[in-house]
Chains A and B, each alone.
Chain A
Amino acid sequence: MLRIPAPLYAQVLGHCVEGLPDEACGLLGGDPTGAVRRCYPTRNIAASAKLYEVDPVAHLRADRDAEANGLAIIGVFHSHTHTDAYPSPTDVAQAPDPDWHYVLVSLRDTQPVLRSYRISGGRIDEEPVIVEEDGSAP
């Protein structure tokens, strides 16, 4: 399960929309229970509507910031501009960590669609996403 405060949920969607026409991406900082506490929008250095690659230096900065705040990078988000919010074969093949949460945002339709998955050994499992309204986060 992924739990994400509403402002961070909005930040993820906003970064994805701002990235159009290219795919957008970023990292999620949080704790091992799947509670997101930081959103790190990053540049897509692939600058493509079909591919994304998180800026490595931004990844290092995010990793350090998360660690300094007692958190860890627990996942990545990226947009699909013309397809479902479902991991592509490329996403699965390149999933870097089986403990991460893989958040997909589809911008195909008028309203963005956000879904989250666990990816391990080529297997894809969707997980619930709980959006925590203001005040409900610990």
Chain B
Amino acid sequence: MTVQVRLPTVLRPHAGGQSTVTASGSTIGEVLADLVHSYPGMAGQVLTEDGTLHRFVNVYVDDDDVRYLEQLDTTVADGATVSILPAVAGGYGR
């Protein structure tokens, strides 16, 4: 399966400035592994050293957040759009 992967601005420098790249895989885990293989600068920013989804990013297949699907085991259809966005969180504490 070949999918389009939309990158957040912080990851684009690792892909030559591209906002969208192609990657291959039948699951989100495979797609992200292929992405990191093609663009090693993203290693550690999308997947953890343990191979799990980094908590500081959200990954979507088309309109759905994969955390509410099968996470890295979520299947992707040929031609799907995978989006990566930063998880936006924080809070008081000073």
Contact = CB atoms under 8 A, between A and B. Distances in A.
* B partners with A: yes
Interface size bracket, B side = 20 to 34
B91 A52 contact: yes
Interface string A37-53: 00000000010101111
Interface of B: 8-10, 56, 58, 60, 63-65, 67, 83, 85-94
B86 A96 contact: yes
Contacts, number: 91
A58 to B, nearest CB: 10
A20 to B, nearest CB: 13
Interface size bracket, A side = 35 or more
A23 B91 contact: yes
List of 8 A-B pairs having minimum Cβ-Cβ separation, nearest first: A96-B86, A51-B91, A88-B93, A91-B90, A54-B88, A53-B89, A56-B58, A80-B92
A96 B92 contact: no
Contacts of A27: 88
